[in-house]
Amino acid sequence: DVLLVGAGGSGGSDNGGGGGAGGLIYRPQLVTSPGGSISYTVGNHGQNSPGPSHNTRRGDNGGDTTFGALTAIGGGGGGSGHPADNLRNGNQGGSGGGSGGETPGSGGAGSQPGRPGQSGTYGFGTNGGSTPTGQGGAGGGGAVGSGNNGNGELGGNGGNGKAYSISGSSVTYAGGGGGGAQNGVTGSRSSGGTGGGGNGGASSSPSVIHGIDGTANRGGGGGGAGNTGPEIGTGAVGGTGIIIVKY
């Protein structure tokens, strides 16, 4: 049996969307050649998304994780929320990044289930949330739960991941990052999805505006940044990917 998870996408800056989780593949009873070798790579996260002085950017996609012919696609970066840019929509990825807030935007598509061959047949990934009326950033997609839309000026929660016991105990992988809140609204951080998704940045004070990183070796998406008005937070990086083989 083999489990692969791509690295999570980074959250966007300036009430940004949460990063999408890395695509997840669980292939039971994978047939291999005795004595042969299998090439592999473990996906790494992209850069975070700083936002000083309204210099905003969309989050980076996470890196792919591969094991032989199987490819778990890295998660999509979350969109940026500042109205002056054109980077609002979340990126496509294994699971899609959430859209940035403030003005309407669309979440990225989750592409893992559509991959050719066994990478898609045994793959999981969902779409990032959208911001149909602007305001808070949307959550990134998780392995089995799509990202939630922005909730007024609060960020949307990340989509949930999927649990497996291939490591010997039940562990949940590939949760989406939470979206960032807008302009000083009172309220808590949005929640990252179960499976290592990072919480989104709040906007009630400068100390809580930065997104929280996705958990390493879970492939969770990074949280999107909040925005107090004068200060813009930094979108967080996604968690690195993982490969687990049981034989």
For 87-105, write each residue's pLDDT tens digit: 899 999 999 999 999 889 9
Assign 184 a pLDDT band (cuts: 50, 70, 90).
low
> Please, what is the end-to-end C-alpha distance for the chain in angstroms?
6
Checking if the pLDDT of 54 tops 60, the result is no
Task: Give the model's pLDDT for residue 207.
Answer: 84
Task: Give the model's pLDDT for residue 147.
Answer: 98
Task: Give the model's pLDDT for residue 133.
Answer: 83
The average confidence (pLDDT) of the chain is: 92
The count of other CB atoms within 10 Å of the CB of residue 55 is 12
Section 40-54 average pLDDT = 74
The pTM for the full model equals 0.94
DSSP per-residue string spanning 123-157: EE--PPP-BTT-SSPPPPP-SSSPPPPPBTTBPPP
Contact of 111 with 97, CB cutoff 8 Å: no
Task: Give the model's pLDDT for residue 31.
Answer: 86
Assign 183 a pLDDT band (cuts: 50, 70, 90).
confident
Burial class, 184, CB count within 10 angstroms (exposed 0-12 / middle 13-18 / buried 19+): middle
Contact of 5 with 242, CB cutoff 8 Å: yes
Both tokens of 222, joined, read 């990074």
The count of other CB atoms within 10 Å of the CB of residue 84 is 9
Checking if the pLDDT of 186 tops 90, the result is no
Section 117-144 average pLDDT = 94
Q: What is the CA radius of gyration of the chain?
A: 17
Task: Give the model's pLDDT for residue 229.
Answer: 78
Both tokens of 167, joined, read 């490591």
Helices (H), 157-225: none
The count of other CB atoms within 10 Å of the CB of residue 83 is 15
Checking if the pLDDT of 204 tops 90, the result is no
Phi and psi at residue 188, to the nearest 5°:
-85, 175
Contact of 34 with 101, CB cutoff 8 Å: no
Checking if the pLDDT of 83 tops 80, the result is no
